[in-house]
Amino acid sequence: MKPTSVIIMDTHPIIRMSIEVLLQKNSELQIVLKTDDYRITIDYLRTRPVDLIIMDIDLPGTDGFTFLKRIKQSRAQ
């Protein structure tokens, strides 16, 4: 069975690292990207699907809800 791909997107490095440590305990999860920049995530998603995004709601330059709308719009194209 293919592992569940996960992106961790948070502005705080300690939070990203803590989430990573917790998720690494589950062999069915594969962290494919860790970032604090929503633009990096958007670029990643243009070429690769992902199963789960764990993200901060308050992101520099956007917020989590606007980011989700952008993803939805880009998938519709």
Give the pLDDT confidence of 38-51 residue by residue, as tens digits: 999 989 998 999 99
Residues β-bridged to residue 8: 34, 54
Pairing of strands 58-59, 62-63: antiparallel
Give residue-wise pLDDT tens across range 50-66.
999 999 988 888 888 88
Which range marks the domain in which residue 54 is found?
Answer: 4-76
Distance of alpha carbon 21 from alpha carbon 47, whole angstroms: 26
Give residue-wise pLDDT tens across range 19-44.
999 999 999 999 999 999 999 998 99
The CATH number of whichever domain residue 11 belongs to comes to: 3.40.50.2300
Q: Number of structural domains, the chain?
A: 1
Full-model pTM: 0.87
